[in-house]
Amino acid sequence: MAAAPRSRWRREAAAPFPRSRLKMAARGGGGVARRGSRVMAAPEEPSGSRTGGEPGREAAGLSGGRCGEGTAAATAVMFRCGEELVSGESEEESNGVNLMEFSDEILLHILSYVPCTDLVLNVRKTCRKLATLCLDKSLTHTVLLQKDYKVNKDKVKQLMRDIGKEIYQLNMAGCYWLPSSTIDHVIRCKNLVKLNLSGCHITSLRLSKMLSALQHLRSLAIDVNPGFDASQLSSECKATLSRVSELKQTLYTPSYGVVPCCTSLEKLLLYFEILDRSREGFMLSGQLMVGESNVPHYQNLRVFYARLAPGYVNQEVVRLYLAVLSDRTPENLHAFLISAPGSFAETGATKNLLDSMARNVRLDALQLPKAWINGSGLLQHLKFNNPFYFSFSRCTLSGGHLIQRVINGGKDLKSLTSLNLSGCVHCLAPESLFRKAEDDIDSSILESLVVSCCNLRHLNLSAAHHHSSESIGNHLCQLLSRLKHLLSLALPVCSITDVAANVEKPPMQPNAAPQTFGKKVRVGIQTYPRNLTDQANQKIESSVFWTLMGSLRFLETLEIIGSSFSSAMPRNEPAIRNSLPPCVRAQSVGDSEVAAISQLTYLQSLTLAQLPNIITGSGLVSIGLQCQHLRTLSLANLGMMGKVVYMSALMDMLKHCKCLRDLRLEQPYFSAGAQFFQALSHCSSLQRLCIVSRSGTLQSDAVMSFMASCLEVVMCHMFMGESLTVCRNLQQSIVRRTVVLDKEHEELRQRRDYQRDICCIFCNCTADFTNRLPDRRLFAAWFLVEPGK
């Protein structure tokens, strides 16, 4: 069908800027597309998914969400348009489509995947039409600077100057590399409704000055650091806080923060990250000033969420917040969530609060510490309306109680979208009194759960032994395959094994001694094919786990973790040097099961831990080839512990992971040599790397070459077994190279808007280097030295 003739206004709008100016704009794209390039887009990247959206459309990049994903492809398309306009090629000569012929709606959809900083500072300089579209309200309404590591203070200043009045939502969460003075430019956003400054250092006076100018603010997220003084807040600032209905507050010091000033709160999110000791080594107290909180102003609260880091001070402070709620429980409260690691004892005030909630409120979301649920009849008295989130992590909740008290005997719970049963070892068994953790599950309980909660999107069954029986059709994987809407799933390794295979061939003990005095027999290892075609010819297509992966085609997050696995560097638990041996049934889970994961085309995050039967790691290669949207990969304790048997397959896999951003490896005796870092260099989008290896080794020259080739890396944690001398020399080399690169690129930055802002910060020289380079992006390289070296 012939294209409609363009109007005079459209012809003028599509007219390009002068050639010199267009060159400058094209160079400002951070090297996304060069002149003369015939590539229309970068390698495929899915758009950032939203929970509750249509999985197929979101994973295919058709979602309208603006989360910054796929920006390379969209930016490359925009610059290609400018190149065609400059070159003057006709449509017949270019053998392509001029995107300027598309409708404004289509162009706006494409531009929605480009970061707002690129739109305003670069893309809109390409031509007059894009100059108009880039300032459309649909693109400037929400500005996301989170994890945009190329943003610096000058870019933020220019952005606020150009479109400050058009911004209604601003997210600067985690922009720790920006100086605190950058916050001053937020004052230009007079119409700001939602502001997220989590992870940004801000003083009481600077916060007061900023909030005094934001009269329309309704949602705020800030950090409360040591030295925060609420008495320094002005009356205009308190007036703005009185209209805030949603507050997210991260506490690094015992304080109420700005909570007393927020008299209209409906949603309160609290993150307690207070250390038990100060930097000087003094013990901290969790006591707060009496009378600092205004009790009567919590009657409108609908959501209360608290997440605690380990430490008794965090528990003391959160009890003070709960004491305020226990005096007068809000009638409209429908979500009450407390995430506390370890033991968090119940007190009289918390018991009164829970009793009041059982009498007066109907909840839609619930999460409590395990000590508050175990041995109590709380779940029997709580009332639920249309629940969408339940978390009973590490509770002694039996399957009978789960069905009777939570699901109400099989009641239709189509509203439930998230269920966390991590560490609930008896949640799929009728009773827990005389049951061992390794006994088979009751498939009827899981079937009732699947039928009642058919719209589950997030399910966590990890950290428990869920062994299926031999009955046909009642395997855990077969029942879970009915949940077609799952987006994230966490399972123990022993739950995915095929029962029939275990019965036919019991696992062989690796260290079993010969039973006779005859000639010793050399025990070899089974050989596995390296490609997926040969594996498919084996039994894996008929395995229950292969069927499960084939039915969950839109799954985005998958975790397969051993029931007894314990990380060497956990965040919320004490480190255990020698973890427990894997489950007996987990001995049969190996390369073929890993290869089954390659069916998940839209997989974005994968965690595999404590799979003892990994022989060659051939399944990893299949995942790298098929799961092109993979962004986060975490591997821990695969195969034999004394040797990294999957190194060759891992290097082959990394060569295909073009979209990988986060990589975490935890394996004893891991050798990070030249070949490994050369393979890792193919991951051009990599931003964060963490290697935890007891008695591991690394090559300093390989690390330097890797850092020189992967320009997007902003964090590198290496907890290895190298000597202190090797660590110091590598630290000094990275610091010197960073300073040299800054000098070499000084002239380059004047010609191109491209720079690699890196600040090398180490645990022994943080203060010195942060003072020298306050504007730089954070790059942390930490090396753990074993005692005695």
Structure-block tokens of residue 720: 């290895």
* Section 750-762 average pLDDT: 34
Say if residue 430 is exposed, middle or buried (CB neighbours under 10 Å; 0-12, 13-18, 19+).
middle
Residues whose CB is less than 8 angstroms from the CB of residue 548 and which lie 6 or more positions away in sequence, other chains included = 477, 478, 480, 481, 496
Q: Give 523's DSSP letter.
A: P
**476 has a pLDDT exceeding 60:** yes
- Number of Cβ atoms within 10 Å of the Cβ of 194: 17
What φ, ψ does residue 227 adopt, rounded to 5°?
Answer: 100, -5
> What pLDDT does residue 400 have?
85
Encode 314-345: b = buried (16+ Cβ within 10 Å), e = exposed.
bbbbbbbbbbbbbeebbeebbbbbbbbbeebe
Structure-block tokens of residue 553: 């085609």
- Band (502; pLDDT cuts 50, 70, 90): low
* Section 234-243 average pLDDT: 95
> What pLDDT does residue 289 have?
53
> What pLDDT does residue 501 have?
55
**16-20, 271-275, 494-498: segment of lowest average pLDDT:** 16-20
**286-290, 434-438, 622-626: segment of lowest average pLDDT:** 286-290
- Band (7; pLDDT cuts 50, 70, 90): very low
Q: Give 286's DSSP letter.
A: -
Summarised one tens digit per residue, pLDDT across range 23-54 is 333 333 333 333 333 233 333 333 333 333 33
Q: Which residue has the higher pLDDT, 560 or 374?
A: 560
Residue with tokens 């799961």: 627
**88 has a pLDDT exceeding 50:** no
Q: Please say whether the beta carbons of 255 and 231 come within 8 A.
A: no
CA atoms within 13 A on the CB side of 96: 16
**455 has a pLDDT exceeding 90:** yes
> What pLDDT does residue 769 have?
28
| CA distance linking residue 347 with residue 354, whole number of Å | 11
Structure-block tokens of residue 644: 């990294």
Q: Give SS3 for 542.
A: helix
CA atoms within 13 A on the CB side of 612: 20
Q: Give 47's DSSP letter.
A: P
Closest C-alpha to 393, from 572, 237, 223: 572
Residue with tokens 């294209």: 3
> What pLDDT does residue 105 have?
93
**356-360, 568-572, 746-750: segment of lowest average pLDDT:** 746-750
Report the chain's terminal Cα–Cα distance, integer Å. Answer: 75
> What pLDDT does residue 575 have?
59
Summarised one tens digit per residue, pLDDT across range 693-721 is 988 999 989 999 998 888 888 888 888 88
Residues whose CB is less than 8 angstroms from the CB of residue 432 and which lie 6 or more positions away in sequence, other chains included = 396, 398, 425, 426
Closest C-alpha to 320, from 341, 299, 291: 291
H-helix or E-strand spanning residue 390? strand 383-391
Which amino acid, residue 209?
K
H-helix or E-strand spanning residue 223? strand 219-224
**776 has a pLDDT exceeding 70:** no
- What's the chain's length in residues? 789
H-helix or E-strand spanning residue 635? strand 632-638
Mean of per-residue pLDDT scores for the chain: 77
The bridge status of strand 632-638 relative to strand 662-666 is parallel
- Number of Cβ atoms within 10 Å of the Cβ of 502: 17
Structure-block tokens of residue 716: 């590198």
| CA distance linking residue 480 with residue 356, whole number of Å | 37
- Band (617; pLDDT cuts 50, 70, 90): very high
* Section 443-472 average pLDDT: 91
Closest C-alpha to 697, from 784, 614, 765, 599: 784
| CA distance linking residue 501 with residue 481, whole number of Å | 20
| CA distance linking residue 552 with residue 489, whole number of Å | 10
Q: Please say whether the beta carbons of 270 and 338 come within 8 A.
A: no
**48-52, 124-128, 418-422, 450-454: segment of lowest average pLDDT:** 48-52
Residue with tokens 């994973």: 59
| Residues above pLDDT 90, as percent of the chain | 47
**754 has a pLDDT exceeding 90:** no
Say if residue 693 is exposed, middle or buried (CB neighbours under 10 Å; 0-12, 13-18, 19+).
buried
* Section 131-152 average pLDDT: 91
CA atoms within 13 A on the CB side of 787: 0
Handedness of CA 187, 193, 199, 202 (dihedral sign): positive
Structure-block tokens of residue 283: 């013990």
> What pLDDT does residue 777 have?
31
Q: Give 488's DSSP letter.
A: E
What is the rounded radius of gyration, in angstroms, for the C-alpha atoms of the chain?
28
Q: Which residues are 221's β-sheet partners?
A: 196, 248
> What pLDDT does residue 406 have?
80
Structure-block tokens of residue 231: 């008495």
Summarised one tens digit per residue, pLDDT across range 629-673 is 999 999 999 998 888 999 999 999 999 999 999 999 999 999 999
| CA distance linking residue 72 with residue 361, whole number of Å | 48
Closest C-alpha to 224, from 188, 263, 260: 260
DSSP string, 438-497: TSBP-HHHHHHHHHHTTT--EEE--SS--B--SSTT--HHHHHTT-TT-SEEEEEGGGSS
**261 has a pLDDT exceeding 70:** yes
> What pLDDT does residue 597 have?
97
| CA distance linking residue 292 with residue 305, whole number of Å | 20
> What pLDDT does residue 747 have?
42
| CA distance linking residue 644 with residue 629, whole number of Å | 26
**183-187, 498-502, 671-675, 763-767: segment of lowest average pLDDT:** 763-767
**525 has a pLDDT exceeding 70:** no
- Band (63; pLDDT cuts 50, 70, 90): very low
Residues whose CB is less than 8 angstroms from the CB of residue 774 and which lie 6 or more positions away in sequence, other chains included = 179
Distances (CA, A) of 358 to 168, 169, 329: 39, 37, 10
**278 has a pLDDT exceeding 80:** no
| CA distance linking residue 30 with residue 79, whole number of Å | 11
Closest C-alpha to 479, from 537, 547, 419: 547
